[in-house]
Amino acid sequence: MLSQHLVILPILIPLLAALLLLLPWGENPQPYRRAIGLTSCVALILVALALALKVQNGVHVYAVGGWQAPFGIVLVADKLAVLMVLLTALLALPVLWYACYGEDSIGSHFHALFQFQIMGIVGAFLTGDLFNLFVFFEVLLISSYALLMHGGGKSKLRSCLHYVMLNLLGSSLFLIALGIIYGITGTLNMADLAVKLSQLSQDDAAIARVGGLLLLIVFALKAALLPLYFWLPQAYATTTGTVAALFAIMTKVGVYAILRTFTLIFGEHAGASALLGYEWLWWLGLGTLAIGGIGIIGSRDLRLIIAYLVVVSVGTMLTTFSMNSETSITAVLYYLLHSTFITAALFLIVDVIAKQRGKTASRIVKGRRMAQHGLLSGMFFVAAIAVIGMPPFSGFIGKLFILEAARTGAQVALLWPLVLGTSFLVLVSLSRAGSRIFWHNFNGKVGDVRHAKGQLTAIFLLLAAVVSLTIFADGISHYIEHIAEDLRNPTAYIEASLGGVANHD
C-alpha cells in the first residue's frame, strides 16, 4: 500500500515535519526540533533510495485525487527527477547536522523554514505540470526569503531585498508565460504540452514561442544566468554558512527546469518551436562563465569567491546543455552533482574559517592562527583541488566530460578556452586565498574558537560525497547516460504521464 504513494512521500515528509516544527515545544524546544528535522532528512533519503529502485522499471506517475493527466495534478518520478530528489536529501542531512550545533538558534523558525524549503525543491523536481512548478517555486522562494535573513543584519537585509524584488518580477513573468501557453494549447501538463505543441499552426506556434522564451527568462533568473545573475554573489556571501550551503541546490532547480522543459516541451520534436532558446543558452552561458571567472579573480573575500563559483558552475552547465547531445547532457548531470556537493562543502569550510579567525573573518588578509588550523587547511586544500578541476577528484572528471562534449570546431574554439581559463583563474584565486589565510599569520596568541567534531563531520560527509563521485564515476556516468537518453527521447515519460503507469490515492 505504501509503495503506491511512494512518489508523493518526498513532498509529504518535509511538509509534515515543518508543521510539527511550528508547534510549541515548551521552554527548550531546540532538541525536539533538531530531532524532528534530522529524522525528516533521514526519512527523505530512504524514500529517495526506494524511488530510485522503483524507477528502474519505468516512469511512475501519481495522480492526485485520482484525476488523470492532463486534467488533474500529477507527480512524475523518472530517473532524472529521482536523482535530483536524492541529491537534495543527501545535501540536506549534513547541512542540517552542521546547523544543529548552534546556528539554528540565531533566528526564529529555522527548522520549519528548512523543511518548507526542502518541500518546495523536491516538489519542483517531481511535478509534471507547469502551474504546479510555479507553486513549488513560490514555496521554496518564500522559505528562502526568510532563510536569507536568518540571524539578521543590514547586509543580509540589503541582499534579501534585491533577491525578493527580482524574484517577484520573475514570478509575474512566470504567470504571464503560463497564461500565454495555456491560451494557445489549453493545457499546462508538461507531457500534454509536448504533444500539442508539435501540432500547432505557424501562427499559434509563434505565440507559444513567446511563452517559451518568457519561461526561459524565469528559469534563467532562478539559475543565475547572465544578465540575471547579479542577485546571487551578495546574497550567498552575506547569509549564514548553513543557508548558503543549502542554497547550493537552489540554482540547480533553475537548471533542472531548463533541462526538463526545453527537452520535453521545446525539444527536437516540438515542430516549429523545436530547440527554442538553445542558441541563447550557448552565448549567455559563455558570458556567465566569463563574468564568473572575472568575479572570482576580483574578489577579496573568500565567501564571495565561493558565491562566484556557483555562477561559474551555472554558466558551465547551461553552455554545455545548449550543445544538445546525449554526451553534453551526461556531462551536465555529472557536473551538477559535483558542483552541488563541493560548493556546499566550501561554504561550510569558509564559515568555520571565518568564525575561528575572529574580526578578519573570511577576508583575504593576514590574520591570526586558528585553533584548528591544520585540520581546516587540509579540508580547504582538498576542496580547492576538487573545485578547480584537478585530478584525482570529481571536478577533473566533470570537466573532462564537458570538454569531450564539445564536438564542432566552433564549440571547441569557444568552450575550451573559457573552461580552462576560468579553471586557471580559480586556481590563482584560491591559491592566493589559501596562502594568505593559512601561511601568513600574526605571531602571538592562537584563536580560541573551536568547532565541535560533529560540525566538522558534516563537512567531511560532503567531501566524502565528492570522493564517492570520483570512485564510482564509471557507474554514475552509465546511470546518467540513460537519463540523458530518456531526456532526448521522452516518449516513455509522455506515455506514462498521459495514461501509462499511474498510481493514485
Contacts of 474 (CB under 8 A, 6+ apart): none
Question: Rounded to two decimals, what is the model's pTM?
Answer: 0.93
pLDDT in tens, 73-100: 899 999 999 999 999 999 999 999 999 9
CA atoms within 13 A on the CB side of 156: 16
Whole-angstrom distance between the N-terminal and C-terminal Cα of the chain? 10
**Residue 69 — very low, low, confident or very high, per pLDDT cuts 50/70/90?**
confident
| Residue 439 domain flag | yes
- Which residue type sits at 133? L
Phi, psi for residue 60 in degrees, rounded to 5: -120, 135
Is the Cα dihedral 125, 126, 130, 135 positive or negative?
Answer: negative
DSSP assignment of 178-209: HHHHHHHHS--BHHHHHHHHTT--HHHHHHHH
pLDDT of residue 29: 84
pLDDT in tens, 484-505: 999 999 999 998 888 744 343 3
| Residue 360 domain flag | yes
How many structural domains are present in the chain? 1
pLDDT of residue 442: 77
pLDDT in tens, 284-316: 999 999 999 999 999 899 999 999 999 999 999
pLDDT of residue 505: 36
Percent of the chain past pLDDT 90, that is, above it, reads 62
Calculate mean pLDDT across residues 459-488. 93
| Residue 67 domain flag | no
Cell numbers linked to 184: 494557445
What is the pLDDT of the chain when averaged over all its residues? 89
**Residue 439 — very low, low, confident or very high, per pLDDT cuts 50/70/90?**
confident
| Residue 284 domain flag | yes
From the list 94, 137, 167, the residue with the least C-alpha distance to 457 is 94
| Residue 23 domain flag | no
CA–centroid distance for 355 within its chain: 26
Calculate mean pLDDT across residues 223-232. 87
The whole-angstrom separation of Cα 214 and Cα 195 is 20
pLDDT of residue 203: 87
| Residue 221 domain flag | no
Calculate mean pLDDT across residues 349-363. 88
pLDDT in tens, 408-424: 888 889 999 999 999 99
pLDDT of residue 26: 73
Cell numbers linked to 49: 533510495
Residue 349 belongs to domain spanning:
277-471
| Residue 36 domain flag | no
| Residue 363 domain flag | yes
Better pLDDT: 102 or 212: 212
Cell numbers linked to 414: 569557444
From the list 185, 183, 174, 332, the residue with the least C-alpha distance to 273 is 185
* Helical spans, DSSP H, in 55-101: 79-99
**Residue 440 — very low, low, confident or very high, per pLDDT cuts 50/70/90?**
confident
Calculate mean pLDDT across residues 145-173. 84
